[in-house]
Amino acid sequence: MNSKQTDHIETKRRFPVFLALALTLGVFAAGSEELVISPLLPDLAQAFSSDVSVLALSISIYGVMIFIGAPLLVPLGDKYSRELSLMAGLLIFTAGTVICALAHNIFFFFLGRALSGLAAGAFVPTAYALVGDRVPYAHRGKVMGLIVSSWSLALIFGVPIGSFIGGVLNWRWTFWIFALMAVLVASLIFIEARHSTADGDKTEEESGRQAGTFRDALKVPRVPVYLTITFCNMIGFYGMYSFLGTYLHRVLPGGNTASGLMIMVYGIGFSMSVFTGKIADKAGKMRSLIAALAVISIWLACLAYAPSSMPFLVIGLFVWGLMQSLTVTLLSTILSDCSQSRRGKIMAFYSLASNLAVTLGSAVMGPVYVGYGYAAVGFICAAVTLIGFGLSVFAYRRYGRHEHTADQSLYR
């Protein structure tokens, strides 16, 4: 191996600091803006002389546009450049956020929310795909874990900070800050893009990228089974998590305060994905996924009975957050490795499967919770997650050889 080849390999192994920071901040901003609406609803209703229930439609509009944004803008990354897709998403996100900040009637506010949701639908799957392009498979779990942890950070820090700013200053300042964050993210991505271009950091597959179709992406080996696992895991998670606060509020002394603290314990566990992802890099991603899904299946079946022992509840919630963040990290990492030429479309499907599960999980489990209680919800969610566990065992037995050769085949 000559010195030029050695230098190229070292370049491929270079840890993309600016990229990791940009994608983490970008997902943090998208997650925070999506969730921060809830505590701001009373102020928004007063500002637009409307009702809280009407303003709550802005949350639904955001979610619907996420579904549209993924298939509309993500293909830009597969056909041309991931950075182009990210920049387009950030431009739309900034425009939407600024419109929200400047809106003086409900129509323009809804328009801003729609544009922000459209951008988020493109940014998140493209961010996952770009990690697959730039980070070696052997270390990808660590970086993906960092990005995944930004979701929990948005819940733990982003929403309270945004709500605090809205209360102390004005709700418009919350959106101005998110717009400034988008500009910062765009600057970091621009710096990383210049770095990559100067270093010749693009692979041959990226340079000659085939556009393909969404149907072609579903034909890639491993993709259908891991998308199904994603759907099962997310159905189980959101079906259970949607009613966790209500259940804990009912059974724990202390009401909202106690249930809030318990949910925070879960969030702390979820934020550990950057560390669990690093461990999974060494232990094997597909094998680690099997273990994580097994733990989650058992916990979901037991959760309704956990409040009888406070130590068991605290430890269990922390471990659940830990295993759930690890599962999300592993699924996004494994799917990002299935195909370089169709990586963006695959991650778009991943995002769509997750968001569809969000909608169905809470909608389907609502009547079950009301009619039969939280224990019934737990058993159903555990059974659905167990299906995902079984599929993960099947996938490992059939495709496990990829786990040991992925890094060598993609980056040698």
pLDDT for the residue 196: 60
Q: What is the residue type of 246?
A: T
Distance CA 203, CA 286 (A): 25
pTM: 0.70
Q: What is the pLDDT of residues 34-65, one digit of tens each?
A: 767 766 777 888 888 888 777 777 777 887 78
CB-CB contact of 323 with 300 (8 Å)? no
Tokens found for residue 48:
């637009």
pLDDT for the residue 256: 60
pLDDT for the residue 212: 57
CB-CB contact of 148 with 323 (8 Å)? no
pLDDT for the residue 255: 62
Domain with CATH 1.20.1250.20 in the chain: 16-197, 214-411
Exposed e or buried b per residue across 356-369, where buried means at least 16 C-beta atoms within 10 angstroms of its C-beta: ebbeebbebbeebb
Q: Please identify every stretch of the chain with a pLDDT value under 50, giving residue numbers as ranges.
A: 1-12, 200-201, 203-209, 404-412
Average pLDDT of the residues of the chain? 78
Superfamily of domain 16-197: MFS general substrate transporter like domains (1.20.1250.20)
Range 214-411 has CATH code 3.40.190.10? no
Q: What torsion do the CA atoms of 254, 255, 256, 259 make, to the nearest 10 degrees?
A: 80
Angle at 60 between CA 40 and CA 153, to 5 degrees: 55
Distance CA 222, CA 400 (A): 10
CB-CB contact of 140 with 15 (8 Å)? no
pLDDT for the residue 401: 57
pLDDT for the residue 2: 43
